[in-house]
């Protein structure tokens, strides 16, 4: 929840003007607030490298749910992706794994791509229960999907314990969890789908640590927070691939 409309448009424009600096096989997805989405989509529509996402969507198709935004509305604005289950949505709005399963279904029904977030808080990490915790998030929200449906999903791992806590996640810890997630997908859906699935890292990625994070064999990209609010910082991260 950052930047009024005009500043958001300026940020998106700056990023689009820099995309010629990145490799052709790198995709950039911008996830602005809802009121920015139509304008940002207009800005990126001419680019073959930049796409838009919504930060959230309703678990209902339509109806008397004042203040909510449906997946079909997001699609009609031109977006291609929807972030589902971000740690802040889970924490501040008490979104459950069951509710997120419904959101994933609705997003897929509307031919959008879910960016499904998972990750553990500090106490779970300290109790050495992080693998079990994250596996349960995936199982309760995604295990009902058919293989072809799951093949459309992007996973984003957020080590909540390393965001705003003073703790720091090392590249070794990131790789360890990403490898676990890929093995979890392999057990459920097979090696081909597991190897082709994108698993993004969402734990305070910034220009100073992006190179070592993206060098990890199982880290396929980043879910960037605060560093995305500055076009130069964001593009420096993108160029780290």
Q: pTM surpassing 0.75?
A: yes
Q: What is the pLDDT of residue 65?
A: 98
Domain range for 28 is 5-238
pLDDT of residue 166: 63
**Phi, psi (deg, nearest 5) at residue 76:** -70, -20
Name the burial class of residue 4, with classes exposed (0-12), middle (13-18) and buried (19+) by CB atoms within 10 angstroms of its CB.
exposed
Distance CA 155, CA 182 (A): 10
- Looking at residue 168, its pLDDT comes to 67
For residue 160, the 8-state DSSP code is G
Longest dimension (CA), the chain: 48
What pLDDT, on a 0 to 100 scale, did the predictor assign at position 241? 86
Residue 204: the pLDDT is: 84
Residue 63 tokens, joined? 């109806």
Residues 6+ apart with CB under 8 A from 143: 188
Instruction: Please give the order of strands across the beta sheet that includes 199-201.
Output: 28-30, 50-54, 81-84, 113-118, 154-157, 199-201, 221-222
Q: What CATH number has the domain bearing residue 153?
A: 3.20.20.70
Q: What is the pLDDT along the chain (241 residues), one digit of tens a residue?
A: 999 999 999 999 999 999 988 888 999 999 999 999 999 999 999 899 999 999 999 999 999 999 999 999 999 999 999 999 999 999 999 999 999 999 999 999 999 999 999 999 999 999 999 999 999 999 999 999 999 999 999 999 999 998 877 676 899 999 999 999 999 999 999 999 999 999 999 988 999 999 999 999 999 999 999 999 999 999 999 999 8
In 3D space, the residue among 166, 161, 51, 67 whose CA is nearest the CA of residue 113 turns out to be: 51
Choose among 38, 43, 39, 37: nearest CA to 15: 43
Please provide residue 3's backbone torsions phi and psi, each rounded to the nearest 5 degrees: 75, 125
Taking CA 16 as the corner, what is the angle to CA 11 and CA 21, rounded to the nearest 5 degrees?
120
SS3 171: helix
Can you tell me the distance from the alpha carbon of 146 to that of 124, in angstroms, rounded to the nearest whole number?
30
The residues carrying an active-site annotation are 86, 158
Q: How many domains does the chain contain in total?
A: 1
Q: What is the CA radius of gyration of the chain?
A: 17
């Amino acid at each position: 929840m950052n930047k009024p409309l005009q500043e958001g448009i300026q940020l998106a424009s700056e990023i689009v003007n820099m995309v010629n600096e990145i490799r052709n096989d790198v995709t950039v997805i911008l996830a602005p607030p809802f009121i920015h989405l139509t304008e940002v989509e207009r800005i990126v529509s001419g680019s073959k490298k930049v796409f838009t996402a919504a930060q959230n969507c309703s678990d209902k198709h339509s109806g008397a749910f004042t203040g909510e935004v449906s997946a079909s509305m997001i699609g009609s604005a031109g977006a291609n992706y929807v972030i589902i289950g971000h740690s802040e949505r889970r924490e501040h709005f008490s979104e459950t794994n069951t509710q997120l399963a419904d959101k994933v279904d609705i997003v897929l029904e509307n031919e959008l791509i879910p960016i499904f977030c998972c990750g553990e808080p500090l106490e779970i990490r300290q109790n050495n229960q992080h693998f079990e915790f994250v596996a349960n998030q995936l199982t309760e929200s995604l295990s009902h999907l058919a293989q072809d449906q799951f093949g459309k999903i992007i996973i984003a791992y957020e080590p909540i314990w390393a965001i705003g806590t003073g703790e720091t996640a090392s590249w070794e810890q990131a790789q360890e969890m990403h490898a676990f997630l890929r093995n979890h997908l392999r057990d459920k859906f097979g090696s081909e789908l597991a190897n082709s699935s994108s698993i993004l890292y969402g734990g305070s990625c910034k220009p100073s640590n992006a190179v070592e994070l993206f060098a990890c064999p199982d880290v396929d990209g980043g879910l960037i927070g605060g560093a995305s609010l500055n076009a130069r910082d964001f593009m420096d991260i993108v160029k780290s691939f």
